[in-house]
Amino acid sequence: MAKQKKQPRPKAQTPKGFRDYFGTEVTVRTEMLRTIAEVYHRYGFDALETSAVETVEALGKFLPDVDRPNAGVFAWQEEEDGNWLALRYDMTAPLARVFAQHRNDLPTPYRRYTMGPVWRNEKPGPGRFRQFYQCDADTVGSGSVAADAEICAMLSDTLEAVGIERGDYIVRVNNRKVLNGVMEVVGVLDPADPAKFEDERGIVLRAIDKLDRLGLQGVRALLGAGREDESGDFTKGAGLDEAQAEIVIGFMDAKRDTGAETIARLRALVEGSTMGQEGVSELEEIAALLEAQGYGADRIVIDPSVVRGLGYYTGPVYEAELTFEILDEKGRKRQFGSVAGGGRYDDLVKRFTGQVVPATGISIGVDRLLAALAAKGRLDQQAAGPVVVTVMDRDRMADYQSMVAELRQAGIRAEVYLGNPKSFGNQLKYADRRGSPVAVIEGADEKANGMVQIKDLILGAQIAENATLEEWRERPSQFEVPRDQLVAKIRQILDGQG
């Protein structure tokens, strides 16, 4: 009888483009999401949690950098009915479905915020993952640009609430109607036939959106015949001639020293386009509304270079950029870049209802924002571990569990050591690895005398590293206290550690 081939063990590795998040990373993210939610809630937005899976039909084709439906998503076909399902690639498409499905039960305008992971089936790279967190807020059912101004103000407040100081960020605002006006002037948009030149317009939008990454020459190439990247991959261009491309470049370079000057320049660029003039007037109104609320050019500015790559935007668009410098992996200085973006998408719900439902919203890239805060040293990435109750006698586990129960009831994070208690040194090594601030020790002698030993691990580590013997005597790091003073003494130590 032939010997059965032994099955190879599966590789213990994270799939390409994904990553695992451990203790402190999850805790820090949760705290930041809580802070963001507080700002959104203060602005009157309600929480919504949608399914991670949508029908491909509901998601539609709105991902940037793809030229065919369903590209860029993780999708599969159901055996029972042949329908295609996919993991959500953003939080906006599911919102459109939710509002269309439940519109008779929801207030209008409907203001919601949501937080959670999204998935993109695209080529991963450094800092670019296939699963990442987004944090969105949207207003559905209001066509007023006051809703857009409010989103921009809320985004500014949110960045400051999580620790991005004023001067380290800027919220940039533009209007897709203005860009459409430019395209009309250039000749790649026909208001009487919106479907005409659709592919060319999509390429122009994506090209402008890549200005920071590709530079002016890269954008010029995409506006023209196309561009070949370092790997040899070729991206088809919009096919504009040199004169047409220069008009688009002029639009990107229209920002002036003041908002009023920028708006005047944009009016000149879209002369002859009704849609373009309407977009400029909307920008002017947004600027006035923000100024009335005290949001000046140090926080929010009109900037024509913002277009946003997604194809569903129909009006004002906005982007939050962090302006401080960081060092890249080669030690070169560079600005951190965008951490949030959004805009108005008045046609998205129409796909379901057949009726125009105005909507506008913002999406914050949670992982990028966390990375930015870490780069500025504004994250506490050394969160304190639990108080560890050591085990000196395994037959008295009930006593030790009683101690942690008291600590937990007092709101103190605590655990009993559940490994092999044979080596006390290993127990302290475990506490050190957990980042524990305090260890509790109760042997047979302490138990008989109604006492307990409490070891300040933070102070002990500092003394062992820096202090002289005399200082050690003056600042003891281990205390013996009556058993009934366990909680009070640990609370005192933790307060002293800050």
Cα 369-61-144 angle, rounded to 5 deg: 65
pTM of the model: 0.82
Examine the domain organization and report whether 312 and 411 are in the same domain.
Answer: no
Quote the mean pLDDT of the chain: 88
Q: Is 343 left (phi over 0), alpha (psi -120 to 50) or beta?
A: left
Domain residues for 107? 23-375
Do the domain assignments include residue 17?
no
Say if residue 96's pLDDT is above 50: yes
Examine the domain organization and report whether 342 and 456 are in the same domain.
Answer: no
Examine the domain organization and report whether 342 and 410 are in the same domain.
Answer: no
* CATH code: domain of residue 120: 3.30.930.10
Which of 342, 375, 408 delimits the end of a domain?
375
Confidence of residue 329 (pLDDT cuts 50, 70, 90): low
Tell me whether strands 438-441 and 387-389 are parallel, antiparallel or unpaired: parallel
pLDDT value at residue 328: 65
Confidence of residue 68 (pLDDT cuts 50, 70, 90): very low
For residues 284 and 264, give the distance between their C-alpha atoms in angstroms, rounded to a whole number. Answer: 10
> Per the omega criterion (within 30 degrees of 0), is the bond before 107 cis?
no
Of all residues in the chain, what percent carry a pLDDT higher than 70? 92
Domains identified in the chain, total number: 2
Mean pLDDT of 210-221: 82
Examine the domain organization and report whether 188 and 335 are in the same domain.
Answer: yes
Mean pLDDT of 201-208: 81
